[in-house]
Structure 1
């Protein structure tokens, strides 16, 4: 890799190199079938907040998955060379991310979401050259945020969410968002692998709200700077167990 990585990356990468599907979900990925797709798990760093991850929030007007937080990502196009190409293309289309600003670190194991039959490859990246990003298409993306790892691992922001189906899984309540499902499952595994996770109470269970999640605090569809705050995948499908 041509870009120097921060020291906090190494423990995560050491674990990611040997990561298997079962580290993220109990569901086995089928050997054949499923719609190929990818998401970008983009890690950055801000001097005042430390390491962070880029998330977007879906527009509240969408027919499906309105208001849900997600990694940038979507289904693979025929011209995509692979998961990395899909993840970077989707991030460019959704939030205006320059692919040249990203150092790809790893492709994580493929994860199957049976509700939609998507087979998702999370692509882990280091944002070596951060720049302002923004909702590229307001009809689909309402907000973009860089959530610090410190916020995500804060025990006060950790909960479990109960889906109407009865499924219960990990979630994060941060800046007016409820991050759950596939996104929360991947984040939970990576926070553990990176050695960031802190003890938190599994007894805090919240019901999945029927209405779209509240907008990000202080965000109105505006751009966020390289050092500031302002998917189809997670949201076409059910959450990881």
Structure 2
């Protein structure tokens, strides 16, 4: 069975006006993502992708990019109470331990599509009711070399997704509906790099008290802010090594304060 989006499972017409730039131009998110990746890193990603395809190490996966907020609003605007569902992975996991991420994971053999995978995984991780969500669009696949996943972000919307919480502490450390304005706020934005041998590449990150959103998730969020018209100028010279950035979390207050 082909693991592709199926007719009728996407409902772009359910998107509120403030999300239409993302729904109408889902390919623009990947383009914005790639513009931020240094040329040498992009070349390494391409090479790793090709190697994984040849060796069969590449695996299909999907993540749920769930926005919640009011049904009204103009394109390019951002409602004050709009939020984005984010998790923090358990520190005991083999891949991406302790990282902030969208809920999601690898496709199971019985999964019919990326939407199916994203909704199933999100329900397992956060307890969210899939029936309250409207899948709007699938973004282009992105390859993640450390885990070998070929990830499809599934954009979704709900005016009220209901309660969310950690379901399995062995898999997830934190589940939160983060105000989108927390990501937009220039004071919450930094650049983070991770030293790998002699190569050092930096990417956009978001310091949000109990979580540091960086790596793949940080890149996708930054790209979505740009495409949606929400991004504001920020200090891209505010650069931290990953461990130093994580240490800043210890000095932050409780989640939900000073986030906007």
Shift of 1:210: 7.8
What does 1:200-239 align with in structure 2 at a 5 Å threshold?
200-209=234-243, 214=249, 218=254
Q: Which structure is higher in helix share?
A: 2
Query: Could you say which residue in structure 1 is the equivalent of 2:84?
Result: 53
Instruction: Please tell me whether residue 5 in structure 1 is matched to residue 12 in structure 2.
Output: no
Which TM-score applies when normalising by structure 2? 0.75
1:81 is paired with a residue of what secondary structure? Answer: coil
Counterparts of 1:179 and 1:6 in 2: how far apart (Å)? 25
Contact 2:184/2:231 (<8 A) preserved: yes
Match of 1:154 among 151, 176, 185: 185
Query: Could you say which residue in structure 1 is the equivalent of 2:33?
Result: 24
The 3 A distance-change label for structure 1 pair 210 and 174 is closer
Shift of 1:21: 4.0
Query: Could you say which residue in structure 1 is the equivalent of 2:97?
Result: 66
Structure possessing the higher radius of gyration over alpha carbons? 2
The 3 A distance-change label for structure 1 pair 2 and 35 is closer
Shift of 1:6: 2.3
Contact 1:15/1:194 (<8 A) preserved: no
Shift of 1:209: 1.3
2:109 is paired with a residue of what secondary structure? Answer: coil
What does 1:24-103 align with in structure 2 at a 5 Å threshold?
24-25=33-34, 26=42, 27-28=45-46, 30=50, 32=53, 33=56, 34-45=58-69, 49-62=80-93, 64-103=95-134
Give the aligned length.
Answer: 220
1:159 is paired with a residue of what secondary structure? Answer: strand
Match of 2:228 among 185, 189, 194: 194
Q: Which has the higher contact order (CA 8 A, sep 6+)?
A: 1
Counterparts of 1:108 and 1:155 in 2: how far apart (Å)? 25
Shift of 1:98: 1.1
Shift of 1:7: 2.2
Contact 1:68/1:212 (<8 A) preserved: no
What does 1:120-199 align with in structure 2 at a 5 Å threshold?
120-165=151-196, 166-199=200-233
| Deviating 4+ runs (over 6 angstroms) | 210-213
Unaligned runs of 5+ in 1: 220-241
Shift of 1:138: 1.2
Match of 1:110 among 123, 141, 144: 141
Contact 1:19/1:109 (<8 A) preserved: no
Deviations 1:167-213 (A, max 9, x none): 21110101232110000011111110100000001100011118977
